[in-house]
């Protein structure tokens, strides 16, 4: 017999084991490192967004708090002056007390119409303001050098006949400071008809606002900005931009269309958090902004991305160093373990080779692999071949079963992702409350539900049940849901939607599958519900007074059954507090271990108990009741529930649900 050659170092088991382990470890470490970097970056961005939003809102509240507190005193004094005569002395005392009482007020004046207080004085506007050391200084406004009748703080409340905040300006000749003024008009009511008499003002120093805003920062190089109603910078880390540049002039200078769009959103009172490239030499930055509704300004927090990810980069460098040290240590350990394993194998190879060459009359094939395992495999070839064949059959069987289970799990995941699953789905809408749940009888099922807005005031919702179960039903369900959404967005009439969907499902339906379906469109302003039905169970109407009834449905054949089927729409008006409960026959036909059905009577009783519940609580109540009734019996059909509670708009009145 030909002797088995001794394995070389490059082909040895120890070398290949060390190479495989180290390569696999390197790959795993690289994937883990990459995932850690991406996840940390996303998590950091999420935290920064939350912190920036909280910081921006805190600044807005701080500014609004100052502005609202400033508005109180002029408003009170203006009401006091309506149709009341005051002396020069008492008026001066009131103005001085107002400024002294509120540290946020830089200065204040009561400016009268020509000759309104003194028949011999065209200008009369006593003014009190704070000097640099915080003391109060009294002076008078008006004259050829200061015609206050032409200033916006006087003209706007006079012509608009309401209190206003002025745009920021430098009050040369008055307080001689950069300020914004709140002006409240007062009137002469003696004639029975209000006659404009003058304005009471309160000035806010923008220097104090800038100091308050500038003291707040996020990360080392983050900063805050404040812009006016026209986009002009009122606060910025670059003093040269304040009252000289606007966000729009900066966008033009830097050629940043994105910044121009942000400026429009800011002056329109919107909120946002977005990334801008090339702002002020910072490269890529993140900007969080929110409006100050009391005055129409907007606050922004700017965070350079380089500063944002600095900590992550430092952490990654540290992780790389630790990984390199660990890799070196692992190399030493793996080589040592590999050699300790191969030593006994060499002895075992010698013994098995001796048996194969001398004691057993067995012809062995040549083995291509030249290592210790190859020599051992050549010695016990018959056992290896039998075992290999057995394992091969077992592996194929196991793989086939696992592949089927995996595909069913994927199909279930895909099917569930087709359905709305985030609740509440529209947290900003208060006119209604909706909740739905689907539990397939198998890993995938044929039930479906859906809801979405056709426009701002019309909500489309539906529920259905495919005739079969398993993967075919899931595919038919996916097609039906996709068709319903696409067609409903083009046509609001539920009967027309069902008609077109039926035509599409009948075309090429060689498997003769069908689906029962109920769909409706709810007008959130009026409570008017337009609905149609294709062979589905009638929904349950729960009135706010505790009464309930099954919804009267128009006739309609199942979808996919007959191309000539005709569908009709009906309407009813829901009152605020009314609810709809939609379900599939998996609810009413759920069986207990004795084979009895859950029944519509039990569903009606559970709904009666939950008439005051929210949509989610009502669905949970019914599902819990079905589970208690089933008492562990196998689920025979898909179970789907959808509850809709109509709350109405703020202007909604009383009245009950009526069918049209």
* Average pLDDT estimate for 57-82: 88
For residue 154, tell me if it sits in a domain.
yes
Question: Quick one: 196 and 253 in the same domain?
Answer: no
Distance (Å, whole) CA 232 – CA 311: 34
Name which residue leads in pLDDT, 522 or 259: 522
The pLDDT of residue 553 is 94
CATH number (domain holding residue 197): 3.30.450.20
The pLDDT of residue 313 is 63
Start-end of H helices in 507-636: 585-588, 599-609, 615-630
The pLDDT of residue 571 is 95
Buried b (16+ CB within 10 A) or exposed e, 462-480: bbbbbbbbbbebbbbbbbb
The pLDDT of residue 530 is 97
The pLDDT of residue 622 is 95
Residue identified by tokens 């039903």 is: 473
Please give the share of the chain, as a percent, with pLDDT higher than 70: 79
pLDDT above 80: residue 604: yes
CATH number (domain holding residue 613): 3.60.40.10
- Looking only at Cα atoms, what is the longest distance across the chain? 138
Distance (Å, whole) CA 171 – CA 179: 7
Question: Quick one: 176 and 271 in the same domain?
Answer: no
Range of the domain at 401: 362-418
Q: What residues pair up with 128 in beta bridges, in sequence order? A: 108, 138
For residue 174, tell me if it sits in a domain.
yes
CB atoms within 10 A of CB 591: 17
* Average pLDDT estimate for 128-138: 88
Question: Quick one: 570 and 448 in the same domain?
Answer: yes
Torsion of CA 540, 541, 542, 544, to 10 degrees: 170
pLDDT above 80: residue 22: no
Question: Quick one: 527 and 395 in the same domain?
Answer: no
Question: Quick one: 565 and 433 in the same domain?
Answer: yes
Question: Quick one: 184 and 269 in the same domain?
Answer: no
pLDDT above 60: residue 385: no
Name which residue leads in pLDDT, 201 or 178: 201
* Average pLDDT estimate for 367-387: 53
pLDDT above 50: residue 652: no
Q: For strand 569-573 and strand 579-583, is the pairing parallel, antiparallel, or unpaired?
A: unpaired
For residue 330, tell me if it sits in a domain.
no
Average model confidence (pLDDT) across the chain: 82
For residue 504, tell me if it sits in a domain.
yes
Task: Report residue 253 as tokens.
Answer: 């200078």
Question: Quick one: 434 and 394 in the same domain?
Answer: no
For residue 191, tell me if it sits in a domain.
yes
The pLDDT of residue 456 is 93
Write down the pTM of the prediction. 0.45
Torsion of CA 136, 139, 142, 147, to 10 degrees: -40
- Residue-wise pLDDT for 283-314, tens only, equals 788 888 999 888 889 988 888 877 666 666 66
CA distances from 461 to 428, 640, 643 (A): 18, 14, 10
Q: What residues pair up with 453 in beta bridges, in sequence order? A: 459
Question: Quick one: 148 and 240 in the same domain?
Answer: no
For residue 64, tell me if it sits in a domain.
no
pLDDT above 60: residue 59: yes
Name which residue leads in pLDDT, 546 or 341: 546
Least confident of 35-44, 401-410, 539-548, 636-645: 401-410
CB atoms within 10 A of CB 373: 15
Question: Helix or strand or coil: residue 297?
Answer: strand
Last residue of a domain, one of 262, 282, 305: 305
The pLDDT of residue 660 is 47
CB atoms within 10 A of CB 381: 16
pLDDT above 90: residue 501: yes
CB atoms within 10 A of CB 585: 18
Residues 6 or more apart whose CB falls under 8 angstroms from that of 419 comprise: 436, 438, 448, 449, 450, 481
For residue 390, tell me if it sits in a domain.
yes
Question: Quick one: 370 and 438 in the same domain?
Answer: no
Least confident of 263-272, 311-320, 439-448, 461-470: 311-320
Question: Quick one: 580 and 448 in the same domain?
Answer: yes
Question: Quick one: 133 and 170 in the same domain?
Answer: yes
For residue 389, tell me if it sits in a domain.
yes
- Residue-wise pLDDT for 443-464, tens only, equals 667 899 999 999 999 999 999 9
CB atoms within 10 A of CB 368: 6
pLDDT above 80: residue 402: no
Instruction: Place 654 in a pLDDT band, splitting at 50, 70 and 90.
Output: very low
The pLDDT of residue 82 is 82
- Could you tell me if 607 and 582 are in contact, meaning their C-beta atoms sit under 8 angstroms apart? no
DSSP conformation class of 241: G
Question: Quick one: 628 and 527 in the same domain?
Answer: yes
Distance (Å, whole) CA 497 – CA 486: 9
Domain count, the chain: 4
pLDDT above 70: residue 346: no
């Amino acid at each position: 017999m030909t002797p088995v050659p001794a394995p070389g170092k490059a082909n040895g088991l120890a070398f290949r084991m060390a190479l495989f382990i180290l390569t696999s470890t390197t790959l795993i470490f690289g994937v883990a490192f990459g995932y850690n970097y991406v996840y940390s970056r996303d998590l950091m961005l999420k935290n920064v967004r939350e912190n920036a939003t909280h910081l921006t809102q805190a600044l807005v509240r701080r500014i609004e708090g100052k502005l609202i507190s400033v508005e109180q005193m002029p408003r009170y004094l203006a009401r006091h002056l309506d149709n009341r005569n005051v002396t020069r002395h008492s008026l001066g005392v009131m103005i001085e007390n107002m400024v002294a009482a509120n540290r946020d007020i830089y200065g204040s004046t009561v400016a009268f119409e020509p000759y309104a207080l003194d028949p011999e004085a065209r200008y009369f506007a006593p003014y009190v303001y704070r000097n640099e050391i915080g003391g109060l200084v009294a002076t008078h406004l008006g004259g050829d050098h200061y015609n206050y009748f032409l200033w916006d703080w006087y003209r706007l409340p006079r012509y608009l006949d309401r209190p206003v905040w002025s745009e920021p300006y430098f009050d040369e000749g008055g307080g001689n400071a950069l300020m914004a003024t709140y002006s409240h008009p007062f009137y002469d009511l003696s004639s029975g008809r209000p006659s404009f008499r003058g304005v009471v003002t309160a000035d806010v120093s923008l220097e104090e606002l800038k100091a308050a805003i500038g003291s707040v920062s996020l990360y080392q190089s983050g900063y805050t900005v404040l812009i006016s109603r026209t986009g002009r910078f009122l606060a910025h880390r670059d003093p040269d931009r304040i009252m000289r540049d606007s966000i729009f002039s900066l966008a033009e200078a830097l050629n940043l269309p994105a910044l121009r769009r942000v400026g429009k959103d800011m002056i329109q009172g919107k909120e946002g958090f977005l990334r801008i490239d090339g702002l002020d030499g910072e490269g890529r930055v993140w900007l969080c902004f929110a409006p100050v509704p009391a005055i129409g300004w907007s606050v922004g927090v700017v965070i350079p991305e380089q500063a944002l990810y600095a900590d992550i980069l430092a952490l990654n460098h540290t992780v790389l160093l630790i990984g390199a040290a660990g890799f070196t240590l692992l190399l030493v350990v793996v080589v040592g373990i590999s050699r300790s394993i191969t030593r006994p194998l060499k002895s075992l190879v010698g013994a098995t080779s001796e048996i194969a060459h001398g004691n057993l009359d067995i012809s062995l094939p040549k083995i291509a692999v030249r290592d210790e395992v190859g020599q051992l495999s050549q010695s016990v070839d018959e056992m290896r071949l039998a075992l290999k064949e057995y394992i091969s059959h077992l592996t194929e069987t196991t793989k086939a079963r696992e592949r089927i289970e995996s595909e069913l799990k994927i199909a279930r995941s895909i099917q569930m992702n087709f359905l709305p699953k985030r609740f509440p789905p529209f947290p900003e809408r208060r006119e209604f409350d909706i909740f739905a749940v689907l539990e397939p009888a198998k890993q995938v099922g044929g039930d479906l539900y859906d809801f979405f807005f056709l426009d701002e005031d019309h909500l489309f919702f539906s529920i259905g049940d495919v005739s079969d179960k398993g993967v075919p039903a899931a595919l038919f369900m996916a097609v039906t849901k996709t068709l319903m959404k696409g067609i409903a967005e083009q046509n609001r009439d539920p009967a027309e939607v069902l008609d077109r969907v039926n035509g599409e499902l009948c075309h090429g339906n060689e498997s003769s599958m069908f689906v029962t379906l109920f769909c409706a469109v709810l007008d959130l302003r009026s409570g008017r519900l337009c609905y149609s039905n294709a062979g589905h169970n009638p929904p349950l109407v729960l009135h706010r007074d505790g009464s309930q009834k099954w919804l009267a449905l128009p006739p309609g054949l199942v979808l996919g059954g007959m191309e000539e089927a005709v569908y009709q729409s009906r309407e009813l008006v829901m009152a605020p507090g009314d609810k709809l409960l939609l379900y599939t026959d998996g609810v009413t036909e759920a069986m207990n271990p004795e084979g009895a059905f859950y029944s519509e009577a039990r569903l009606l009783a559970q709904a009666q108990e939950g008439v005051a519940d929210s949509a989610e609580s009502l669905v949970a109540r019914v599902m819990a009741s079905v589970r208690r009734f089933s008492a562990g019996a196998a689920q025979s059909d898909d179970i789907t529930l959808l509850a809709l509670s109509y709350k109405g708009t703020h202007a909604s009145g009383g009245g009950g649900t009526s069918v049209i």
